[in-house]
Amino acid sequence: MYQPSTTPYQEHRGFKRTFRQGHLSLGLFFPLEAFEGDTPRMLDQVALAKRAEALGFSALWFRDVPLRDPSFGDVGQVFDPWVYLGYMAAHTTKIALGTASIALPLRHPLHTAKAAASVDQLSDGRLLLGVASGDRPVEFPAFNVNPDERAEVFRERCEVIRQAHSTNFEPIRWNGGELLGADLIPKPTTRQIPLFVTGHSRQSLDWIARESHGWINYPRPPKIQRMIVDDWRQQVMTECGPVYKPFIQSLYIDLDALPSTPPSPIHLGFRLGRDHLRTLLENLQEIGVDHVILNLKYGKRSAVDVIEELGTHIVPHFGAQVSDKLS
């Protein structure tokens, strides 16, 4: 952990557990519960995380929401993502741990680089680093960030993190500072922690395809999502050649107890039974979606029951299915 790894990110444990080309896998957003408003209870999260791991979910995902903004209506998992990642890393052994996503302009890049590498080492290579430019207006003045500059700041901080993880005592300079005569440790378990850009983060698609290891996007009707996935694959081919870079999306679900309940729209997702959920996921897999992060916020049933049903009847049909005994 004192020297940069020479292992490529494709061999990263979290990446291998979550992604295999042509195979859709499933993850869960924290908080693992259904709740109204913006105040989750955050009860039994460790037990639920352990059960999700045992049932074969590929990843657990953590939000970066530093402030409670009533107009936004969402506080993520309440706790700081890096602290909560460390907490959950200590209570799990196999499941990947992802951020969706760290708002890079709000955080010093060396702090982000050190926190990410620390979690990656402490979890034995399970961190998936989702990043974003930030979209909640109240946060920018609170953290003394000019929102008009976040596109450039985002690009710059991605590069600082990359250099801090993959070099040894080399100078790093950026608009906000410079690192000279010192080195950031620990280094991650692979040369780079798999990094995923969320939405466009005010960047062009060619930049995202070139500089990231995958793309986190939003739920859309399958016909529209197919076009976006196709554009992504083409852009990756243009910028990087035949390199596999996963396409990820979120999906809110209210899983009805009746398996045959047909889908009806809810915010960024559907209320539906498991039979129709499986069909939807099969359609997403067919169009090239690699990973779906399920969010249980708008559900009517307990997370215990929903996670158990998903793990018993849905998860076995999907997943990267890696043979690594540690995964």
pLDDT tens column, 258-285: 999 999 999 999 999 999 999 999 999 9
C-beta neighbour count of 147 within 10 angstroms:
17
**CA dist 160 → 31, 179, 250, 311 (Å):** 30, 10, 28, 39
Q: Is residue 134 scored above 90 in pLDDT?
A: yes
Q: What is the reported pLDDT for 289?
A: 98
pLDDT of 105 above 90: yes
Whole-number Å distance between alpha carbons of 30 and 226: 27
169-206 per-position pLDDT tens digit: 999 999 999 999 999 999 999 999 999 999 999 999 99
- The residue written with tokens 């290579």 in the block is 125
pLDDT of residue 46: 98
Structural contact between residues 60 and 30, judged by C-beta atoms closer than 8 angstroms: yes
Amino acid letter, 146: N
**Whose CA is closest to 150, among 84, 201, 98?**
201
**Given this model, what pLDDT does residue 326 score?**
44
For the beta carbon of residue 13, count every other beta carbon within 10 angstroms.
Answer: 21
Q: Determine contact, residues 247/288, Cβ cutoff 8 Å.
A: yes
| pLDDT value of position 320 | 66
Asked whether residue 323 carries a pLDDT value surpassing 90, the answer given is: no
pLDDT in tens, 145-165: 999 999 999 999 999 999 999
pLDDT confidence of residue 321? 52
Cis before residue 109, ω within 30 degrees of 0?
A: no
Residue that has been written with the tokens 């043979």 in this structure = 323
Is the pLDDT reported for residue 214 higher than 60? yes
* Burial state string for 224-236 with b = 16 or more CB within 10 A and e = fewer than 16: ebbebbeebeebb
pLDDT in tens, 59-100: 999 999 999 999 998 999 999 999 999 999 999 999 999 999
pLDDT bracket for residue 318 (50, 70, 90):
very high
What mean pLDDT value characterizes the chain? Answer: 96
pLDDT of res. 327: 44
**Distance between CA 94 and CA 44 in Å, rounded?**
19
> Mean pLDDT throughout 250-257?
98
Nearest in space to 104 (alpha carbons), one of 164, 151, 165:
151
What pLDDT score does 235 carry?
Answer: 98
What is the third-level CATH fold of 9-317? Answer: TIM Barrel (3.20.20)
Number of Cβ atoms within 10 Å of the Cβ of 296: 24
Contact 154, 202 (CB under 8 A): yes
Q: Where are the domains of the chain?
A: 9-317
pLDDT for 319 equals 80
Q: What is the pLDDT of residue 325?
A: 46
Q: What is the mean pLDDT of residues 111-118?
A: 98
Q: What is the pLDDT of residue 60?
A: 98
| Per-residue pLDDT at 129 | 98
Q: How far apart are CA 196 and CA 205, in angstroms?
A: 13
What is the tens place of the pLDDT at every residue in 41-67?
999 999 999 999 999 999 999 999 999
C-alpha–C-alpha distance, residues 15 and 33, integer Å: 25
